[in-house]
Chain A
Amino acid sequence: MHAKTNIFNLPETEFVHPGNRACAGCGLGIAYRIGLKALGKDTILVVPPSCLTVLQGLYPIAATKLPCLNVTFASAAAAATGVIGALQAFGREGINVVAWAGDGGTSDIGLQALSGAAERESNFIYICYDNEAYMNTGVQRSGTTPCGALTATTPIKGKLQKKKDVPAIMAAHHISYVASCSAAYPIDLYDKIKKATGMTGTKYIHIHTPCPPGWGFDPRYTIKMGKLAVESGLYDLYEIECDQFRLTDASEKLLKKKKLRDVDKYFKSQGRFKIMTDDQISAIREDIHRKWEAYWG
C-alpha cells in the first residue's frame, strides 16, 4: 500500500494546461485536474459532448495533454470499448482507457451503451461527472437533476421527480468497482481513480461536481457546496468492491459521528432550489435520515 495520499504528495505533473474554457469555480475543472493526475500519462480519453468538450478547447488548441477522442453523445462507453479492442489487437498493455462524460451523457442518452459495455466486462474506467443537469446546452433537466431544482426545462415548478441513482444501476451490473466521490474531496477522488487504474473489468466512478452558474451560487463556494451535500448526508462518498459497499472519507466519518448537518443550508444556498417549500425540504430530510439510520444500523 502506498503512503496515504495528501495534498503534499499528489503528483506534480499536470495534464490539464493552465487556462481552459471552464467557468470560474467549475467543479468539473477540479475533478478533471485531480483525476488526470491519478490516471497518469498512459491514458486514452473518450469524451462525449458536454462541458468537458468545451473545457478541452477549440481546434487546433487543446487543454489536455493526453490523447483524447471526442465522440457522439450516446457512444462514450461503446467507443471506449473500441479503443480497448484496438489496443488488444496490437497486444498493447498498460494503457488506461477512460470515458469521461457528464450526467446527461451517462444517465440518459449514454446509459444503453454504458450498460452494454459493463455487461461485456469491458476493461475500462467510466467517469461520470455529475453537475445535475445538461449544462453545456444551458441547464436543462437530466435524469440526475434532484427533485425541486429549477432548470430551463423545469422553469416554474422545479423538477418533480427524484434523482436517478446511476451508481446503483452500475452496481447491479456486478462490475469490478463502483465509486462515488465529490470534487470537494479531491484526495478521496484521487485515491478512488488510482485504485480503479489497478483493476481489470469495468470500473464506474461517479463524481458530484458543483456548477456555479447552473446551480446558482457564487464561484468561490464550489467546495463548500460539495461539502454541504456530503456533510448533510444527501450525497455519499462510497465504494463498492466485489459487491461490498463501504462509505469513505467524510461519509465514513459521519458513520462514526452519527450526526448529520441539516440539509436546509444546502438547499437555501443555491438559486436553483429557491422555490422549494419547507415541506419539500422536510420530505428530503426524512429520506436522508431513513438512509442513514440504515447505515448506522
Chain B
Amino acid sequence: MAPELLLGPAPLVRRRGRTGSIMWRVVLALSPVAALAVAAYGGPALLVLLACVLGSLAGEGLGGLLWGKARFFADGSAVLSGLLLALTLPPALAPGWAFAGGMLGTLVGRQLMGGLGGNLLNPALTGRLILSLGAPGALESAWRQPWSWRGTGFWEGLAAQDPLPLLHRTYLVLQELLSGALPPLPAGWPAGERLDLIRHAQDLLAAAGADHLLWPRLPGLMGEVSLLALLPGLCWLFTARLVDWRIPASILLVLPPALLLAAGGPAGAWMLPALYVKGTGLLLLISVFASDPVTTPLGQLAKFAYGLGVALGLVALLVWGQSSCAFWGLALGAGLLVPWLDRILVPRGLA
C-alpha cells in the first residue's frame, strides 16, 4: 500500500488566517456600528442592512452563473460588501433599492471584473454610486431622525433652547457643499441667511453636543451613527494588520492642512468635524474604503501616493464640489489609478 504522504511545495506551514477570516474579521469590526445603527434607527435600518447583504450575495451568485466565476460565499467578501454598502446608506431606504444596490454593486464592481482580487472598483462604493445616480429621490427621502433616550423631542428640545436657526443656517451651507448627501430640512424651518462657514460649523457642533460621538443626535448615514463604536473596530483592524494603516494615515495627515489652505483659513479646520457630525460618510471613506486592500496599491510608497491623491481630491470636492455622487465617485475613480501607481512605484528590494 502506498504511503499516505502529502505533497506540496515549501513552506509547509502557513500562518493562521485566510482571506475568509480577514473578511469576517472586518465584518466583526464593523458590526458594532451596524448594531448601533439598527438600535438608533430601528426596523427600517435592519431591513436596509439585510437587503444589502442579500443583494450582494445574489450578485455574487448571479455573477457566478453568468460568467462561470467561482463563487466564494464562504470567504465573506459578499457579506462584507453588503454590510459596507448598508453603512453608506440612509437608514430608511426602501429595501428594494438597497437590494438592487447590493446586487448591482457586486455584479458590476466585482464579478464583471473577474471576481474577488481582480476588481479595481470597490463593490460597495459601486453600489452606492449606482444608487446615487439612479435613485437620488429614494435616497433623499430616506433620512430619519435617530431615536434618543431623551425622547423624540430632541429636536423640539433643541428648538426650545433656540439653537435651531443656527443649525439650519449651517445646514444650508453644508448642503450647498454636498448637495443631496444630507437629510432634508424638517418642514417649516425658516430659511436663514448664509453665515460665515466657521460660525456654522461651530454652531452645528454645539447643537449636536459631544455625545453625538457616542450616539447619533442628527440624521445621518447608518455607518456614522457613532464614532466611538467605529473606532475600536478600526483600531483592531489596523493593529492586527488586517487593513493597512498607511492610506488612512496619509489622508488624515494631508486633509486638514489642505482644507485649511483651500477653504480659506480656519474655515477648513471646522469642516472635518462638521462633516462628521452631518453624517456624510467622510469617516467611512477615509478609514474603511480607502484601506480596502483589493482596490488600493500594494507598495508602501504607492500607498502614500494614493492617500495623498485621495486627500487632495477630497479637498477639491469639499470646497468646490457640488454633488454627493462625486464624493463616492472619487474613491471609485482613485481605484482605477491603482495599477498605474503600482507599476511606477514598485519596490525594488534592498538588494
Pairing of A with B = no
